[in-house]
A and B are shown apart, each in its own frame.
Chain A
Amino acid sequence: MMPRWMAGSFSVCLLAALSWAVWSLPTAPKGLTAESLARLAESGVTNPVTAVLLNFRGYDTLLEVGVLLLAIVGVWSLRRADWPRTAGGDFTMLAPFLRVALPLLVLAAGYLLWIGAFAPGGAFQGGALLGGALVLAVLGGRGRHILNRRDLLAIGLVLGVLVFVVAAALSMLLSGGLLQFPSGQGGVWILVIESAALISIGLTLGLLYLGGRPSKGGLPRHD
């Protein structure tokens, strides 16, 4: 913490520098649109964003999925989970709603994953939806049987990185380049990697909400 006048003058200087930098950018940058669209047909998907994420810059995404795993490992090693006080309570409104909403949310996450090959969507969007569903489930005291199984949760959290790394190694054996998928098979490789990533991203986001590792006993029994 520093005096306000000092922080203020630092900020004004930074704003001036950033504004100048932003203003002097070319008005019509070439970007990488042309390059990515030119090779889109070889990527195995027709959505350019998914092609960039899983094919052209797959290495980058592999590391990002690794960062998610590091974050949840860090949180699990720091704290035990705090179960919301309401978990397991009696909900006249929420419980019937969740009975309908949770399966729909899981279905929608899978749909987003599938549609990501040719329209906006993909593992990260689906994972966000899955994470939200998990948060809702925890708040409503549902999904206890899943949250009781710390071993299964751990496998789910690691799955994304694991499948990604195995795919990277296999693609290296088959085609000689890291995450350079054999020609014509890009779509299948991307779908497999994304499916694993979807589970890991969803679980990571949902379990982060608990703020720590679930204890061996899982959710405390409602009394």
Chain B
Amino acid sequence: MTEIDHRVYLAASAIVFVIGFYSLLVQAHVLRRIMALNVMGSGVFLFLIALGSQTPGPVPDPVPRAMVLTGIVVSVCATGLALALADRVQDTTDRCEISEANRHTASSDRKSGIEAEHSEGSAS
């Protein structure tokens, strides 16, 4: 891999990370936010692999490769947990969006939702 290639991969990893970051800030839907986090993670993986590929020697640096290898599996599992939490958010609030606008307009809504849940809990 030439030096230019190396720079391109590193720059691409920064761009991928920032694309995910922007979506994380802008999107309200929790599913899109989880996807944004995954895109950010892909940027980090690309960065680590690009970094490890440039070291001198017969083989690429095994340490970043090992970190990415486990990182991918961990990120899949974290995504699974995030999806379960997102489903729980939707179950309890009847909404799958997190936004400031929602919080103001639907605050009375949510209050009644919590009360309903409480009465449900005491009934059972």
Contacts and interface: CB of A to CB of B under 8 A. Distances in A.
A93 interface: no
B54 A29 contact: yes
Nearest to A15: B18
Contacts of A64: 70, 73-74
Contacts, number: 153
A171 interface: no
B85 A30 contact: no
Interface residues of B, number: 52
Most A C-beta atoms less than 10 A away, residue of B7, B69, B98: B69
Nearest to B24: A7
Contacts of A7: 22, 25-26
A79 B85 CA distance: 9
Contacts of B76: 205, 208
Nearest to A32: B63
A61 B70 contact: yes
Interface in A1-49: 1-2, 4, 6-8, 10-11, 14-15, 18-19, 22-23, 25, 27-34, 36-37, 48-49
A211 to B, nearest CB: 6
Contacts of B57: 31, 33-34, 37
Contacts of B74: 64, 67-68
A158 B101 CA distance: 43
B25 A2 contact: yes
Interface stretch (B9-17, B104-112, B114-122): B9-17
A30 B55 contact: yes
A124 B77 contact: no
Contacts of A57: 63, 66
A87 interface: no
Nearest to B17: A18
Contacts of B73: 64, 68, 124, 127-128, 201, 205
Q: Which of B25, B52, B88 gathers the greatest number of chain A CB atoms within 10 Å?
A: B25
Given A1-B28, A78-B88, A79-B84, A53 B55 contact: no
12 contacts: A10-B25, A22-B13, A25-B51, A31-B55, A52-B66, A56-B63, A60-B67, A64-B73, A67-B74, A79-B87, A124-B69, A205-B76
Q: Give the top 7 A-B pairs by smallest Cβ distance, nearest first.
A: A31-B55, A208-B80, A48-B62, A7-B25, A31-B61, A71-B77, A18-B14
Interface of B: 3, 6-7, 10-11, 13-15, 17-18, 21-22, 25-28, 47, 51-52, 54-67, 69-70, 72-74, 76-78, 80-81, 83-85, 87-88, 98-101
